[in-house]
């Protein structure tokens, strides 16, 4: 896993997720919602999260699910 997160950004735990009553999942990056999952997609995500061994593994799963949403040109407020 060290080869995947070369800049150690996942060590700061930038991703969080919330599960709603209807089993919909919202994934947030630094407090901002970047992805929502429903149905089979949400079930598959929750299963992967239960199988994760540690926090960094969970962060990697969330990073992969959200895809390539950051391109490096986002503004910091």
pLDDT digits (tens, 9 = 90+) for 28-41: 999 999 999 999 99
Quote the mean pLDDT of the chain: 87
Spatial strand order in the sheet of 25-29: 15-19, 25-29, 32-37
CA distance 42 to 18: 11
CA distance 42 to 67: 15
The answer to whether 47 and 58 are in contact (CB under 8 A) is no
Q: How high is the pLDDT of residue 18?
A: 97
Q: How high is the pLDDT of residue 7?
A: 75
Average confidence (pLDDT) over 54-63: 92
């Amino acid at each position: 896993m060290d080869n995947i997160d070369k800049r150690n950004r996942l060590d700061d735990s930038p991703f969080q997720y919330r599960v709603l009553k209807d089993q919909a999942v919202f994934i947030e990056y630094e407090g901002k919602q970047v992805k929502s999952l429903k149905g089979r997609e949400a079930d598959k995500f929750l299963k992967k999260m239960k199988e994760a061994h540690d926090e960094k593994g969970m962060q990697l799963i969330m990073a992969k699910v959200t895809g390539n949403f950051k391109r490096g040109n986002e503004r910091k407020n």
